[in-house]
Amino acid sequence: MVYSWYQEWLDRKNRYARTDQVFADADRFAEIAVGIGLPNIVQKSTFSFRNVKDGADRFLGLSQSGEKPYARIYTRLGNPTSEHLEKVLFKLDCQHIIDAALAADEKKPTIGTLVFASGMAAITCTTFALVKSGDTIISGGVYGCTDSFFRSLEKFGVSVKFVDTTNPESVKNALSEAKNPAMIFLETPDNPTLYISDISAISKLAESYQIPLIVDNTFATPYLQQPFRLGADIVIQSMTKYVNGHSTSVAGVVNGPWKFVSEHLFPVFKDHGPTPSPFDSWLNTQGIQTLHVRMERICDTALELAKRLEKIDKVERVWYPGLPSHPQYELAKKQMRKSGGIISFELKGGFDPASNLMNYFASYTTPMELAVSLGSAISYIQHPASMTHSGIPEKDREERGIKNGLVRLSTGLEGTECLWAAIVEGLEKSYS
Ligand SMILES: Cc1ncc(COP(=O)(O)O)c(C=O)c1O
């Protein structure tokens, strides 16, 4: 597989993106997230041109005044409010790339950013921009809809091979056995079992086949993990979660090599129409301003709850990357600033106590909500086997550890003691 944009990107990735420093400087991150400010909400579907040449230039991708040319034609192609959000997201993940490229007097852009109407739209459009009939996607354990989307591509002659991406050897074997491997896609931490994959090691494998490594960074966010620094080629997030932070909108983002984004992804975006509304982009720009503060607090609460859950005898197993019992604890420490806000735990006795616990939290008198999604100020609890991951064939689900007793908790901002008191009471009632 040879992508026209690949060699130039590989050269730039090695010069500007890969760094020994794994995390963004926390103060610089905060400065960008807040300092870039809030845009106006440009709630318009179409934009008037200054003259015929201006209109024609914009369709050619040229702009006289420096702003994104497609952000002022027609909102399906782009919008000034979404353009502002793209700038923040681009800087949060890629400021070090911008700095290094400028220092090297690079004249052409290195990274491009596009925001989408959902995380799934970001994933589907990126995939459509890469694969063709006869290709194989190598994927790890992923979110239920990403899993079912990859499987649905069979009818277009595109295969998917699911492998254990926590073991780079499995990825290597899959690559050598696959017909036309076209992309590697992984979530780390993955949803819902929080397994961690070695981005750096897998990026080297992807390079040996000249194919992109795509990382879904939804669970970690750019505050906890910066996949470009570790060698990833394309970074995706569902902004519905931590970026938004309050469950007020659905949106996604792709950061990737400039040529890939502008020449391959943008045409798919333009023709499929997964454009976010200007108001949703404004909400996400607002949410991003507090991302670093929320993540710090959420991670600290989640770590404490995970430690306590591990000591409860009704709990068969706790899955949290910040616990020494996690199979990739050391890798998580190396790759992530903190361990994230999601805890999954399996209850002894399977579905019945799990269902009782969730019904307990469905009551409005408890601090959590029984709801899918994650990353909000409000804590959520849900049952992956019957909800978010119900689309995965049962055998594959069981193999991935998504058993009937497994529940996934998205830690919010209610406070450790408030959440812990409710968990203890909920567990008590679930077995009585
Ligand atoms: C890891 C991950 N990626 C992608 C998605 C899809 O995002 P959205 O719901 O914004 O389409 C989800 C949704 O739960 C997710 O958990």
DSSP-assigned letters across all residues of 8-27 = HHHHHIIIII--S--S--HH
Nearest-angstrom CA–CA distance, 190 and 187: 5
Nearest-angstrom CA–CA distance, 247 and 68: 28
Kindly report the pTM of this predicted structure. 0.97
CA of 236 to the centre of ligand 1 (A): 10
Nearest-angstrom CA–CA distance, 31 and 10: 29
> In this structure, what are the phi and psi dihedrals at residue 327, rounded to the nearest 5 degrees?
-60, -25
Question: What are the tens digits of pLDDT across the range 295-334?
Answer: 999 999 999 999 999 999 999 999 999 999 999 999 999 9
Atom of ligand 1 minimally distant from the CA of 120: 11
Q: Whose CA is nearest to atom 10 of ligand 1?
A: 119
CA of 373 to the centre of ligand 1 (A): 8
Q: Which residues line ligand 1 (CB under 6 A)?
A: 118-120, 143, 146, 187, 191, 216, 218-219, 238, 240, 250, 252
* Test site for ligand 1: of 238, 249, 372, most ligand atoms within 8 A of the Cβ: 238
CA of 152 to the centre of ligand 1 (A): 17
| 1 band by pLDDT with thresholds 50, 70 and 90 | low
Residue with tokens 């979404």: 82
Rg over alpha carbons for the chain, rounded to the nearest Å, is 22
The pLDDT of residue 392 is above 90: no
Which domains are assigned to the chain?
6-44+79-288 (3.40.640.10), 291-430 (3.90.1150.10)
Q: Whose CA is nearest to atom 15 of ligand 1?
A: 143
Question: What are the tens digits of pLDDT across the range 216-226?
Answer: 999 999 999 99
Question: Rounded mean pLDDT of the chain?
Answer: 96
Terminal CA-to-CA distance of the chain, rounded, Å?
A: 58
